[in-house]
Amino acid sequence: MKKIFAITAPLVLLAACAGGPADMKTEADAFLRSYTDTYQMLSYTAAEAEWASNTRIVEGDTTNTYKARMANEALAAFTGGVENIEHARKF
């Protein structure tokens, strides 16, 4: 569900601003660029951490599992963050 919101929210925002004032569109475009850049970075980091956790298995070592959990939590915190939700409501 979070991934669906993370992918569709920016698209909905862009569509909603298509007919609005120029300032609102410019602000929405800036938000979408920033959101997309951050989302891609966090998503990539989480995917790499998951890959390492599932392919580099060392008995007794929980480092990869911890890194994967932290990366996934960072992604979830970003996509469900108050600031992003407030921007979505604004646009």
Q: What is the pLDDT of residues 11-43, one digit of tens each?
A: 555 555 555 578 989 999 999 999 999 999 999
Residue 46 half-sphere exposure, CB side, CA atoms within 13 Å? 17
| Residues ≥6 apart with Cβ < 8 Å to 56 | 64
State pLDDT tens for residues 70-79. Answer: 999 999 999 9
Report helix, strand or coil for 62: coil
- With tokens 């569109």, the residue in question is 25
Instruction: Indicate whether this model's pTM tops 0.75.
Output: no
According to the model, what pLDDT value does residue 26 have? 93
According to the model, what pLDDT value does residue 11 have? 56
| Residues ≥6 apart with Cβ < 8 Å to 53 | 64, 65, 67, 68
